[in-house]
Copies of this chain bind each other. A is one copy, B any other.
Amino acid sequence: MSDRPLDALEASLDDPVTVELKDGRAFHGRLDGYDQHMNVVLVDTVDTVEVDSDARRVRDKTIIRGDNVVRIET
């Protein structure tokens, strides 16, 4: 029942995901799209910097360039 990384992203379309970046930030949103570079599109995005959990801002649509991504939790 294994799945390849892009299959796991495909299965998560329209679901909430957390995208952790190399700069330490994490963005929470609904996965609206992705491509083979792990560029992702999030909607209804909230970012959380772990050291300051009050610093939250809501955004419309965010395109994240894949080379910044450490992990995506689904």
Contacts and interface: CB of A to CB of B under 8 A. Distances in A.
A65 B39 contact: no
Copies of this chain, whole number:
7
Interface residues of A, number: 40
Interface in A31-69: 31-35, 38-41, 59-69
Contacts of A33: 2-5, 7-8
Contacts of A73: 59-63
A4 B65 contact: no
A69 to B, nearest CB: 5
A40 B5 contact: yes
A18 to B, nearest CB: 9
A29 B69 CA distance: 19
